[in-house]
Amino acid sequence: MKGFKQFILRGNVVDLAVGVVIGASFGTVVNSLVKDLLTPFISAIFKTPDFSGLSFVVNGSNFMYGSFLNAIIAFLLVSVAIYFFVVTPINTLISKTRKDKPLDETTKKCGECLSEISLEAKRCAYCTSSLL
């Protein structure tokens, strides 16, 4: 039991569990945003909230392309919602909090791989390109 207790209380297991729970909750919020706000907006434009009834028949086979269209629209709406309401604000927040630290005066950037290397180096230690 001691080994199991150490495994469960290990930091990465607890972090993963918290991430899964928060991810599931966040998924519910995003789905609600799409279903309750964005989809009615689209239906107001196209005058139909659901495309699942759309189909066509070829040689007696019924092709239900409306459900596929609904899935594509839902995917695009979720992607737009995540980008504009999560990714963009987080990137803005990170860029405001990140300070560009000046390069150390004893190093320079490699022209090929952009890694920091010594001013005295004749060859990059990372990509082995010649610096002469």
Reading the block at residue 31, the tokens are 């789905």
Are residue 131 and residue 95 in the same domain, yes or no?
no
Are residue 91 and residue 113 in the same domain, yes or no?
no
* pLDDT, tens digit, 9 for 90 and up, residues 20-53: 888 888 888 887 877 788 778 877 887 776 777 8
3 part of a folded domain: no
4 part of a folded domain: no
- Provide the pLDDT for residue 102: 55
- Among residues 19, 74, 31, the alpha carbon closest in space to that of 51 is found at 74
- Provide the pLDDT for residue 101: 58
Are residue 94 and residue 78 in the same domain, yes or no?
yes
Full residue range of the structural domain in which residue 119 is found: 102-132
1 part of a folded domain: no
CA distance 31 to 90: 19
* pLDDT, tens digit, 9 for 90 and up, residues 47-79: 776 777 888 999 999 898 888 888 888 888 888
Are residue 88 and residue 110 in the same domain, yes or no?
no
Are residue 113 and residue 92 in the same domain, yes or no?
no
